[in-house]
């Protein structure tokens, strides 16, 4: 039994047929949609094809042995809805009744939750008919909590059915949770949930001249070549179990504008997981182009120092999809592909970026990057404790022990939410499976 789940941006004729068949069975089984009886096949086809055209909606499917057997929709607020930009809503969640009890629902929901977290979502909502006990139980195993009921939620075959409203907090150390704790007194529950979730692994794909390389300490003259096929490298990471990808256009970082455009587009097309991209993105037009091209999050580095107003503008225009990349040498922020060192400290810039509204921060200690000697845990922890944003650690991972050490520090500094690993994966010092296991909660 081979079960896979992923986000899709297109559907073949066979996939569309299988999806409609699973949806029809789910409707007949009494769950997953607002329909009481299956609509005509062409209506279902137009429904799913239409979802793929909605910018705020993401369609996820789950397969067994290559055949689609269920789906779910994740919807983010429009870019103009700033007050709810941190949230997303799950709907249309279903698995064909004849395929239930095999783990497909678990795989599907896991992929939706991971994608939501990877795109900067902090609050995940869903509402379910009270009669759908299996779905409710599944969501609860993922840490969703019931916060309310609707006594007149639905009418099913002449009877009124109550609805349950569920929520899961994805950023347990965030400002939102601090406000919640202040009003409810629940000061530890969400942190416990975060620790249960583990840290996210972001395998790095650094691009130079269209190829995958790794630098030492940010030196373009000290690059190790690994692959001429970035898309194949991306697929190998995803096939190994990675649910996020971290891509940097190194040529773009030094040139001040995107350079490895074709390679990045190939990676996005080949990947079914969120891709975050940095390097040479310096204006709103470039940000919008990459987001429209399928990039989940854009990383702003040098521009965060030199044009903070742009960061603020982008964070407002694309809520949840802007990440600040803070690269430092001995605590001082570096810019222009790490070629220049500023007078701003990493923590000062992190606080400014939090005020600007970014979704997360990536912190890299340049002196350790590519050296395989371990992360700068002290600086990473101090920065994570200074802000209420998710922090992704980077620079220096060379062994499973280094990842385990980060996991240990994250228990004390729960703002640390993930880690970028590059050379150690390419050199075989750490396998993807070992990295994922090390980042899970013991």
For the chain, what is the total number of helices (H) and then of strands (E)?
A: 17, 19
**Running DSSP on this structure, what letter comes out for residue 11?**
-
Is 32 strand, coil or helix?
Answer: coil
Q: Residues 401, 405, 410, 413: what is their CA dihedral angle, to the nearest 10 degrees?
A: -160
First CA to last CA distance, the chain:
27
Of 391, 410, 381, 394, nearest in space to 353 by CA: 391
* DSSP, res 77: P
* Two tokens, residue 331: 């605590």
- Listed in sequence order, the DSSP H helices in 29-126 are 41-51, 104-118
Structure tokens at 224: 């190790």
Sign of CA dihedral 272, 273, 278, 282: positive
Q: How many CB atoms lie within 10 A of CB 382?
A: 16
The set of catalytic residues is: 206, 327
Sign of CA dihedral 313, 318, 319, 320: negative
C-alpha span between 244 and 281 (Å, rounded): 20
CB 81 within 8 A of CB 115: no
**Distance, CA of 72 to CA of 90 (rounded, Å):** 7
Give the Cα separation of 342 and 222 in Å (integer).
Answer: 23
């Amino acid at each position: 039994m081979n079960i896979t789940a992923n986000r899709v941006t297109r559907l073949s004729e066979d996939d569309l047929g299988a999806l409609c068949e699973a949806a029809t069975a789910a409707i007949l089984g009494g769950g997953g949609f607002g329909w009481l009886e299956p609509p005509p096949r062409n209506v279902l086809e137009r429904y799913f094809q239409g979802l793929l055209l909605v910018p705020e909606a993401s369609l996820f499917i789950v397969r067994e042995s290559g055949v689609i057997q269920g789906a779910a929709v994740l919807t983010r607020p429009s870019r103009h809805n700033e007050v709810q930009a941190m949230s997303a809503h799950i709907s249309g969640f279903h698995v064909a009744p004849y395929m239930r009890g095999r783990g497909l629902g678990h795989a599907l929901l896991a992929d939706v939750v991971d994608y939501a977290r990877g795109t900067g979502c902090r609050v995940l909502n869903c509402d379910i008919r009270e009669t759908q006990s299996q779905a409710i139980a599944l969501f609860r195993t993922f840490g969703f909590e019931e916060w309310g009921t609707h006594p007149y939620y639905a009418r099913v075959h002449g009877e009124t059915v109550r609805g349950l409203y569920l929520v899961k907090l994805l950023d347990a150390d965030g400002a939102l949770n601090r406000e919640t704790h202040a009003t409810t007194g629940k000061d530890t529950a969400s942190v416990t949930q975060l620790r249960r979730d583990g840290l996210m692994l972001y395998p790095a794909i650094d691009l130079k001249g269209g190829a995958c390389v790794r630098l030492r300490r940010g030196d373009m003259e000290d690059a190790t070549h690994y692959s001429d096929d970035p898309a194949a490298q991306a697929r190998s990471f995803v096939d190994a179990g990675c649910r996020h990808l971290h891509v940097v256009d190194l040529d773009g970082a030094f040139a001040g504008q995107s350079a490895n455009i074709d390679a990045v587009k190939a990676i996005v097309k080949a990947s079914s997981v969120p891709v975050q991209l940095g390097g040479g993105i310096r204006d709103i037009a470039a940000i919008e182009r990459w987001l429209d091209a399928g990039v989940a999050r854009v990383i702003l580095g040098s521009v965060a120092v030199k044009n903070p107003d742009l960061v603020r503008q982008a964070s407002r225009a694309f809520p949840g999809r802007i990440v600040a990349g803070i690269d430092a040498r001995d605590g001082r922020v570096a810019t222009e592909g790490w070629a220049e060192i500023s007078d701003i400290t990493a923590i000062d810039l992190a606080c400014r970026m939090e005020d600007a509204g970014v979704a997360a921060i990536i912190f890299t200690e340049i002196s350790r990057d590519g050296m395989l000697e371990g992360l700068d845990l002290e600086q990473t922890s101090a920065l994570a404790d200074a802000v209420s944003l998710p922090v992704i650690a980077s620079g220096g991972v060379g062994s499973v022990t280094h990842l385990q050490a980060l996991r240990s520090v994250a228990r004390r500094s729960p703002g640390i939410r993930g880690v970028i690993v590059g050379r150690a994966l390419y050199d075989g010092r750490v396998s993807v499976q070992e990295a994922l296991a090390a980042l899970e909660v013991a």
